[in-house]
Amino acid sequence: MANTPPKHSKHAKVDGGAHAPGRTSSFGTVSPDGNRRMVSAFDSRYSTSPEGTLYAQPPAGRQFNMAPQKSKGRRIALIVLAVIVGLLLAAYLAGVAVFSSLFYPQTKMAGQDLSMMSVQQVEQLLQQRLDDYSIQVKGQGVDFTLTGRQTGIAQDVASIARKMHDTFSPWAWPAEVFAGHDLSHNLEYSLGDMDTLSTAVNSEVEKFNATATAPQDAYVAYNEEAGEYQVMPSVMGNTLNGEAVLEAVAQAVAEFSAAVNLDADVVQQPKVLVNDEGLHATADEANKLISADLALMVGGTEAAHLGKEQLKGWVSLAEDGTVSFDDAALDAWVEAFVENSETVGTERTYTRPDGKKITVSGGDYGWYIHTSNTKDMVREAVKNGTQGQIEPPINRKAAEWNGKGKADWGDSYIDVDITEQHARFYKDGKIIWETDFVSGKDGNETPLGVFYIKTNNGASVLKGYEEDGKTITYEAPVEYWMPFDGNLVGLHDCDWRTEFGGDIYHKNGSRGCINLPTKKAKELHELIWVGLPVITHE
């Protein structure tokens, strides 16, 4: 029986029994002398006395020796952990393999679900979208649809599908598989054949513009109501700018839009507006050219008026704003004025005081205007914007001007009626002298027309000449020579005649002069003056 330690001892002596020297017990190693000197790590509950006796610590509770059981549990735990890690690693690698060719779940592109699709499937999807593409163009009065083929849209579907998949890392699948992904930004389109789209758009634009109203630029024009050139405002239309429409459609196609609404920017706008400085300068210059207002006076009477109504027709406005004036048209107007104003030799009709209506032409009496000088005068007046009366240069004047075709010799004149063979001198509209006469015989008829007295010098010797103008055929002295057609034909006394009037002139007439009784010739000589009109008529 083992010895019992004293009760007051803090340790109980444990006798492990007899053991062979050098053997190991559960409580420690037995030395050759039989004493245990070492304890295992599990025996920290024990202590030894100075004599080498091993004592057990008082138990804090129930304790067992678990060293073998703990070692086995640790091994099992490690094995389980290794299996789990292996399974996780296998699952991870499997995920890497799967997502190396497939898209992650919750992946979208332009509203379409690409979850768990392969690159090839996405490529097919992209191609189908491209084949089905069309775009509706509307707004500003148009509404038409273009197919994908008409737009010329193109896309490298294989490259884009691969590029979209390459944005993912399959090694990050544990984190990415639960996240949402939108790959729309990877979609890229090109208009590989811009000519195709241009042709389709331009065709629709031209069709619309054919019945649309084109815009009109501001321009300079003569305003009849205002009586001046003014800048007319631009006019808005609704025709479309083909380039602007093409640009809007091309941008929408490049974005793969299904529709595009055209705004007001595609409507053709006037290029020149009413506030254009160049237009106002043009209007001012044109108005200066029509500012003249001329009354052309002939014999104190307005024979013609030249103002803006005529002048505006001779002003031309070029597209570049250049203003020009048609001088040739102005010259033609002056020529017409002269022709309509001159009366020398023209046909004139009048009614004699006794009621006889007479039409006469020829002679050298009347109005005669210097044409070239008149052109210069009028052109200068127009250039300077002259307003008022101007009198053209007159080469020959009459008593008055009443217009073309009318009498212009006033109330004082000698009326020589060849048919009646009777002459009358009207002064201030009243007869103050008259007589019968003998005019030129057949073949030497007295010239008809409106003439005027060239001289009134009295006595003269009348001479006749051959056709050569040199050989004198006769000489006849007279007391009262009053020529009216140059110095060749005139009124004169004829003392070799005793009868006047009637039909004498047909057989026994003069060589063209008006033969008067001497007494009547003397009276007339004393009444008339140089320049007095002489009208010879039938």
Average pLDDT over residues 364-379: 98
Interhelix angle for 327-341 vs 371-384, to 10°? 130
Is position 492 annotated as part of the catalytic site? yes
Q: What is the pLDDT of the chain when averaged over all its residues? A: 87
pTM above 0.75, yes or no: no
What residue ranges do the domains of the chain occupy? Answer: 1-65, 100-270, 290-396, 413-537
* Segment 129-147, tens digit of pLDDT: 888 889 999 999 999 999 9
Which residue bears the tokens 């107007």?
333
* Number of residues in the chain: 538
513 is an active site residue: yes
Q: What are phi and psi of 201, to 5 degrees?
A: -70, -45
pLDDT tens-place string over residues 102-133: 988 988 887 788 888 888 888 888 888 888 88
pLDDT at 2: 41
Task: Please enumerate in sequence order all residues whose Cβ is within 8 A of that of 444, keeping only pairs 6 or more positions apart, or say none.
Answer: 509, 510, 511, 512
Integer angstrom CA distances of residue 103 from 90, 107, 152, 182: 20, 7, 30, 11
Q: How far is it, in rounded angstroms, from Cα 341 to Cα 401?
A: 8
Burial (CB < 10 A; 0-12, 13-18, 19+), residue 129, is middle
Contacting residues for 203 by C-beta, under 8 A, at least 6 apart? none
Give residue 67's pLDDT: 56
Alpha carbon 392 to its chain centroid, in Å, reads 46
Strand partners, 181: 107
Distance of CA 425 to the CA centre of its chain: 74
For residue 491, how many other CB atoms are within 10 A of its CB? 28
Vertex 94 angle, CA 89 and 99, to 5°:
125
Q: Are 170 and 100 in contact (CB under 8 A)?
A: yes
Residues 81-108 pLDDT 10s? 888 888 888 888 877 878 777 988 988 8
- Please give the share of the chain, as a percent, with pLDDT higher than 90: 64
Task: Quote the tokens at residue 287.
Answer: 């108005």
Provide the pLDDT for residue 501: 98
Arithmetic mean of pLDDT, 201-226: 96
Residue 397 Cα to chain centre, angstroms: 57
Give the whole-angstrom CA distance, residue 373 versus residue 313.
Answer: 23
Res. 48: pLDDT tops 70: no
User: Looking at residues 504-519, what average pLDDT do you find?
Assistant: 97
| Pairing state between β 219-223 and 228-232 | antiparallel
Q: What is the pLDDT of residue 447?
A: 98
What confidence tier does 323 reach under pLDDT thresholds 50, 70, 90? very high
Dist. CA 191–CA 188, nearest whole Å: 11
d(CA 311, CA 325): 9
* 3-class SS of residue 96: helix
Q: Which two tokens stand for residue 178?
A: 């639960």
C-alpha 409/C-alpha 398 separation (Å) is 6
Considering 43-52, 158-167, 529-538, the range whose residues carry the highest mean pLDDT is 529-538
pLDDT band at 30 (very low <50, low <70, confident <90, very high): very low
DSSP letters, 398-427, are -S----TTB--STT-EEEEETTTTEEEEEE
DSSP at 102: B
The encoded tokens of residue 149 equal 């083929």
**What's the chain's Rg over C-alpha atoms?**
68
Pick the catalytic residue from 165, 513, 525, 537.
513
Architecture of domain 413-537: Beta Barrel (2.40)
Rounded mean pLDDT, 316-331: 96
Q: Return the pLDDT at 33.
A: 47
Is 155:130 a contact under the CB 8 Å cutoff? yes
Helix (H, G, I), strand (E, B) or coil at 262: coil
Q: How far is CA 109 from the centre of its chain?
A: 46
Asked if the domains at 290-396 and 413-537 fall in one CATH topology, the answer is no
Q: Report the distance separating Cα 204 and Cα 240, nearest Å.
A: 10
Span 258-283, pLDDT tens digits: 999 999 999 999 999 999 999 999 99
The amino acid that residue 104 corresponds to is Y
Greatest mean pLDDT among 103-107, 146-150, 168-172? 146-150
Residue with more model confidence, 284 or 22: 284
Euclidean distance between CA atoms 149 and 132, whole angstroms: 10
Given the candidates 3.30.360.10, 3.40.47.10, 3.30.420.40, 3.10.20.800, the CATH classification of the domain at 290-396 is 3.10.20.800
Residue 262: both structure tokens together: 């055209």
pLDDT(504) > 70: yes
Q: Out of 492, 494, 525, 537, pick the active-site residue.
A: 492
Q: How confident is the model at residue 66 (pLDDT cuts 50, 70, 90)?
A: low
Q: What is the pLDDT of residues 336-368, one digit of tens each?
A: 999 999 999 999 999 999 999 999 999 999 999
Q: What is the pLDDT of residue 65?
A: 53
Q: 225's torsion region: left (phi>0), alpha (psi -120 to 50) or beta?
A: alpha
User: Is the pLDDT at 59 greater than 90, yes or no?
Assistant: no
Mean pLDDT of 387-416: 97
d(CA 475, CA 464): 6
Question: Hey, which of 179-193, 246-260, 508-522 has the most confident mean pLDDT?
Answer: 508-522
Q: Which two tokens stand for residue 188?
A: 């890229």
Lowest mean pLDDT among 304-308, 323-327, 334-338, 469-473: 469-473
- In Å, the largest CA–CA distance within the chain is 225
Q: What is the pLDDT of residue 38?
A: 45
Q: Select from 491, 493, 502 the least CA-distant residue to 436.
A: 502
Percent of the chain having pLDDT more than 70?
86
